[in-house]
Amino acid sequence: MRPYEHGGDIYGNPGVTLDFSVNTNPLGLPDQVGHALVANLDKFARYPDPQCRDLRTEIARHESVAEDWILCGNGAADLIYRLCYAMRPQKALVCAPTFSEYERALEQVGCQVEYHYLKKENLFTLDDKILKRLTPGLDLLFLCHPNNPTGRLISPDLIPKILNRAQENETAVVVDECFLDFAGGETANRYLKERPGLVVLKAFTKIYSLAGLRLGYLLTSSGILRDKVDAAAQCWSVSVPAQIAGLAALSRADWQRQTRRLVVNERNFLTKNLKLLGIRVFPSDANFLLLRFKGQLYEPLLRKGIMIRRCNNFRGLDEHYYRISVKRRPENIQLLKALEEIIHG
């Protein structure tokens, strides 16, 4: 079996009681979701709606887009692979470091992958230098907004520049916005109508803590591309529970605002106190922080029942980098106390 490259492997680490390696919402699952799942248990015996009709109607309202621009999938990762299978790009560009599934999906279809390295000296911020990489012959560009594991948003001034250059060169662009609800940045949705080569990825996984149910969707104004990606999936790829959960989650109109308020406060609290411990903390707009520390942190924390994300398998980072999620104050204090014991004895 292939080695697991992401956070959240509590199954392989049964002693973990506090998981900072995954970036789901510190508020957990909205109450409406749990209630809806319990109330609809009798529907689980049915085949799911393969077109996710009711869910797409609500997503369209939530995103202010047309229903036929939406395609649902078994999480955003499922749609990343389906996009690559459908588009069959010959040459693609990804940033480094970034979410590894872009690279893995591209390699599975035989695509030549090129890398645009984000610099530590620039706080891993994407800047205008990427425009030079958008040349004729490039079929596809993956962007993570905000980026994982750095948490950095793409400047709202840079997004249209990238899209314009890509359109000039007939390069498709996929903007992964799975963490955008935590950051409150500008979505690329506004550019969809005029740019059929643009795809925006979203997920319920992080903001609604539905990682175990697997639910994501893409937005594109290209009916041809949507149909190709749809054809690249098995039928019934979005389960009945996932569709019920998605509908219930979207009923929480205040969820994003409530979440961002908590995340900003706790991110600032963690940043301040981690720096006091001598850990370098890179600025983040998301619900997680990228750290750098010369000493060992992962194994010592694991022995205390706390798991963080090692980042040495992110292209462009080494064994001195770690990523932690932002949680509620009691859990954050517990992490800080454990780190203080490890660093200062």
Task: State pLDDT tens for residues 120-160.
Answer: 999 999 999 999 999 999 999 999 999 999 999 999 999 99
Nearest to 76 by CA among 150, 166, 5, 179: 179
| Separation CA 319–CA 328 (nearest Å) | 27
Going by C-beta distance under 8 Å and a sequence separation of 6 or more, which residues neighbour residue 168? Answer: none
pLDDT given at position 40: 97
The predicted-structure confidence for 222-248, as pLDDT tens digits, reads as follows: 999 999 999 999 899 999 999 999 999
Residue type, 78: D
Q: Answer whether residue 3 shows pLDDT above 90.
A: no
Question: Are the C-beta atoms of 156 and 185 separated by less than 8 Å?
Answer: yes
The predicted-structure confidence for 108-126, as pLDDT tens digits, reads as follows: 999 999 999 999 999 999 9
Q: Give the mean model confidence (pLDDT) for residues 213-222.
A: 97
Q: Give the mean model confidence (pLDDT) for residues 99-116.
A: 97
| Separation CA 15–CA 303 (nearest Å) | 8
pLDDT given at position 11: 82
> What residue has token string 């948003």?
153
Q: Answer whether residue 162 shows pLDDT above 80.
A: yes
pLDDT given at position 12: 78
pLDDT given at position 2: 67
Percent of the chain with pLDDT over 70: 99
The predicted-structure confidence for 163-188, as pLDDT tens digits, reads as follows: 999 999 999 999 999 999 999 999 99
The predicted-structure confidence for 272-315, as pLDDT tens digits, reads as follows: 999 999 999 999 999 999 999 999 999 999 999 999 999 999 99
Which two structure tokens, joined as six digits, stand for 300? 């010592």
The predicted-structure confidence for 36-51, as pLDDT tens digits, reads as follows: 999 999 999 999 999 9
Question: Are the C-beta atoms of 113 and 325 separated by less than 8 Å?
Answer: no
Whole-prediction pTM: 0.96
pLDDT given at position 197: 96
Which two structure tokens, joined as six digits, stand for 81? 């692979």
Q: Give the mean model confidence (pLDDT) for residues 217-226.
A: 97
Band of residue 345 on the pLDDT scale cut at 50, 70, 90: confident
Question: Are the C-beta atoms of 58 and 223 separated by less than 8 Å?
Answer: no
CB atoms within 10 A of CB 312: 11
Percent of the chain with pLDDT over 90: 94
Q: What is the mean pLDDT of the chain?
A: 96
pLDDT given at position 109: 97
Nearest to 221 by CA among 251, 200, 242, 252: 200
Residue type, 106: L
pLDDT given at position 294: 94
CB atoms within 10 A of CB 100: 17
pLDDT given at position 15: 86
Q: Answer whether residue 7 shows pLDDT above 90.
A: no
Q: Give the mean model confidence (pLDDT) for residues 89-108.
A: 98
Q: Give the mean model confidence (pLDDT) for residues 17-44.
A: 97
Q: Answer whether residue 249 shows pLDDT above 70.
A: yes
Q: What length does the chain have?
A: 345
